[in-house]
Amino acid sequence: MKILVIGNGGREHALIWKIAQSKLVDKIFSVTGNGGINKIAESVNLTNNFEILDFAKNNNIDLTIVGPENPLCEGLVDLFEENKLKIFGPNKKSAQLEGSKEFTKEFLIRNNIPTAKYFSYTDYNSALKGLDDFKYPLVIKADGLCKGKGVFICKDKDEAIISLNKIFLDKIFGEEGNKIVIEEFLQGFEASLICLVSKNNIVPLEPAKDYKKIGEGDIGENTGGVGCISPNPLLDENTEKELNTIAKKIQKSLEKEDLAYNGILFIGFMITEEGAKVLEFNVRFGDPETEVILPRLKSDLVDVILKTMNNEISEDDLQWREEYCLTTVLCSGGYPDKYETNKEIVGLDKLDKDIIVFHNGTKLEKEVLLTNGGRVLSVTTLADSLEEARNIVYENIARIDFDGMYYRKDIGKI
Ligand code: AMP
Ligand code: GLY
């Protein structure tokens, strides 16, 4: 088979690394490659959904797999389906589960799926008035896609007004902030379940714990994720069962509302004293969750995806390695705010042979590997214990260097 993978971060490098191990695959193309991906896939420079469609048609691509949310929310799957091409992911209508917070909240409430209480607003003055209906802290969310930056947790009314000003008056998210959701703040710990979802079933992958804050001890700004471990030691058996039950209810509700699709549903939960509640959906694989989940998957990923697309997937199709997997993301200094790129990366040739380095933001120029993003490399290993995985990853990171390199030293310390 010929496979096309959209997206060029660490998640896509992990997908391509795993796809390359499939006995079903002859050739992989990547839009648009990076310093690591280019060693196992052919990079193609396509800049919009129409160019992607033309490429898939002209090159007899058998299956397209989409990493990031934007092409899905812009209707890439609709375009492929109209042209009878195989693609893994939701159409534009179902992608609203990630693309619109209000759409998701309405879906959850309508289907009695536990979630925080909320109201939505389309103008500044009613949002300002609405603040009085909530206790503090409260959470303000821009409705649309804001690269993970659209959520404000406000401890008092002053902070809430500042956030409303930023969204409605300064328009920092442009049109994506034309609507907002205000919701109650949920206390607890977070857990994510990334699931294969088909028109008749939902099958969770192994759970992972993402480290979202830039600073050690979980302080500072939110990021896309700067470290990850799988399995998630915080999840006990009962909680996992509860999450699986909610996931099943979500799948049934998608089916009932004609929103079911063949792809990934990433469910973000807050585990509260009253039980698990849904915080958000993503309709794609997580990053860096993919970098720790796929190394643990023994089964052939392409076979698993094809079964999901044929509505034949079941838990028995997934075999897992028992080991822990840990990844620490090496970042450009300054991330998630301003950072510099084009710094030479050295030391990758000195790593232990069972270390897996997924490239998030790199490029190869005249044989020199350079930084090319805020998140640069995900240094990953499997080991029998979390402690051992931590030690191996940090020993190896000490051999890597680039100007301004920053990473959290507490990934895997729970
Ligand atoms: P979201 O994009 O909706 O998942 O929000 C991003 C992050 O904001 C989540 O991972 C949580 O850490 C936090 N968050 C979102 N909604 C709430 C809430 N209702 N209560 C507490 N924290 C929240
Ligand atoms: N790591 C969280 C996400 O991919 O959205």
Burial tier of 405 (Cβ tally within 10 Å: 0-12, 13-18, 19+): middle
The first and second tokens of residue 364, run together, are 């190869």
Atom of ligand 2 nearest to the CA of 285: 4
**Interval between CA 288 and ligand 2 midpoint (Å):** 7
Q: What string of H, E and C letters represents the secondary structure of the chain?
A: CEEEEECCCHHHHHHHHHHCCCCCCCEEEEECCCCCHHHCCEECCCCCHHHHHHHHHHCCCCEEEECCHHHHHCCHHHHHHHCCCCEECCCHHHHHHHHCHHHHHHHHHHCCCCECCEEEECCHHHHHHHHHHCCCCEEEEECCCCCCCCEEEECCHHHHHHHHHHHHHCCCCHHHHCCEEEEECCCCEEEEEEEEECCCCEEECCCEEECCEEECCCEEEECCCCEEEECCCCCCHHHHHHHHHHHHHHHHHHHHCCCCCCEEEEEEEEEECCEEEEEEEECCCCCCHHHHHHHHECCCHHHHHHHHHCCCCCHHHCCECCCEEEEEEEEECCCCCCCCCCCECECHHHCCCCCEEEECCEEEECCEEEECCCEEEEEEEEECCHHHHHHHHHHHHCCCECCCEECCCCCCCC
Q: Which ligand is nearest to the CA of 278?
A: 1
Nearest CA, atom 15, ligand 1: 279
Instruction: State whether the Cα torsion 346-350-355-356 is positive or negative.
Output: positive
Q: How far is the CA of 399 from the centre of ligand 2 (A)?
A: 27
Mean pLDDT along residues 106-123: 98
Looking at residues 227-249, what average pLDDT do you find? 96
Ligand 1, atom nearest to 187 Cα:
21
Q: Where in the chain are the domains?
A: 2-91, 117-184, 189-317, 324-397
Which of the listed CATH numbers 3.50.50.60, 3.30.470.20, 1.10.8.60, 3.30.70.270 matches domain 189-317? 3.30.470.20
Structural class in CATH, domain 324-397: alpha beta
| 98 close to ligand 2 (CB < 6 Angstrom) | no
pLDDT range class, residue 116, cuts 50, 70, 90:
very high
To test the pocket of ligand 1, the residue of 139, 194, 221, 277 to mutate (highest count of ligand atoms within 8 Å of its CB) is 139
Residue 148 has pLDDT above 90, yes or no: no
Q: Per-residue pLDDT averaged across 44-56, rounded?
A: 97
- Protein residue whose Cα sits closest to atom 3 of ligand 2: 286
Per-residue pLDDT, 407: 98
| pLDDT value for 147 | 85
Whether 225 shows a pLDDT value over 90: the answer reads yes
The pLDDT of residue 21 is 98
The model's pLDDT over 169-210, given as tens digits with 9 standing for 90+, comes to: 999 999 999 999 999 999 999 998 999 999 999 999 999 999
Q: 289, 290, 331: which to mutate for ligand 2, most atoms within 8 A of CB? A: 289
Distance 50 CA to ligand 2 centre (A): 26
State in Å: Cα 151 to ligand 1 middle. 7
- Copy the structure tokens of residue 62: 């058998």
Question: pLDDT tens, 69-108?
Answer: 999 999 999 999 999 999 999 999 999 999 999 999 999 9
Task: Tell whether pTM > 0.95.
Answer: yes
Q: Evaluate whether the domain defined by 117-184 bears CATH number 3.30.1490.20.
A: yes
Question: How high is the pLDDT of residue 169?
Answer: 96
The preferred substitution site among 211, 279, 280, 289 for testing ligand 1, maximizing ligand atoms within 8 Å of CB, is 279
Residue 297 has pLDDT above 90, yes or no: yes
Q: What is the mean pLDDT of the chain?
A: 97
Confidence of residue 26 (pLDDT cuts 50, 70, 90): very high
Answer whether residue 281 shows pLDDT above 90.
yes
- What is the architecture, at CATH level 2, of domain 2-91? 3-Layer(aba) Sandwich (3.40)
Residue 58 has pLDDT above 90, yes or no: yes
What average pLDDT does this structure show over 150-161?
Answer: 96
What does the alpha-carbon distance between residue 382 and residue 384 come to, in Å, rounded to a whole number?
7
Q: Report d(CA 76, CA 87) in Å as an integer.
A: 9
Name the residue among 395, 8, 9, 377 with its Cα closest to residue 227. Answer: 377
pLDDT band at 149 (very low <50, low <70, confident <90, very high): confident
Percent of the chain with pLDDT over 70: 100
Q: Which residue of 222, 287, 329 sits with most ligand 2 atoms within 8 Å of its CB, as the best mutation to test the pocket?
A: 287
Query: Relative to the alpha carbon of 218, which ligand is closest?
Result: 1
Ligand 2 within 6 A of CB of 210? yes
Tell me, yes or no, if the two domains 2-91 and 117-184 fold the same way: no
For residue 411, the CA-to-ligand 2 centroid distance in Å is 16
Q: To test ligand 2's pocket by mutation, which of 193, 266, 360 has the most ligand atoms within 8 angstroms of CB?
A: 266
Q: Is the CB of 90 under 6 A from ligand 2?
A: no
Q: In this model, does residue 414 exceed pLDDT 90?
A: no
User: Which residue CA neighbors atom 5 of ligand 2 most closely?
Assistant: 286
Question: Does residue 287 have its Cβ closer than 6 Å to ligand 2?
Answer: yes
Q: Whose CA is nearest to atom 16 of ligand 1?
A: 279
Does 231 have pLDDT greater than 90? yes
Question: At a CB cut-off of 8 Å and minimum separation 6, what does 310 contact?
Answer: none
The answer, yes or no, to whether any atom of ligand 2 lies below 6 A from the CB of 225, is yes
Mutation probe of ligand 2 site: the residue of 282, 285, 329, 358 with most atoms within 8 A of C-beta: 282
Other CB atoms closer than 10 Å to residue 194's CB: what's the count? 23
pLDDT at 128 over 90: yes
Quick one: average pLDDT of 329-336?
Answer: 97
CB 76 within 8 A of CB 263: no
d(CA 292, CA 380): 7
pLDDT at site 186? 98
Task: Enumerate residues lining ligand 1, CB below 6 A.
Answer: 116, 139, 141, 151, 153, 183, 185-186, 190, 268, 270, 279-280
| Ligand in nearest proximity to the CA of 292 | 2
* Lowest-confidence pick of 12-16, 99-103, 144-148, 260-264: 144-148
Q: Which ligand is nearest to the CA of 115?
A: 1
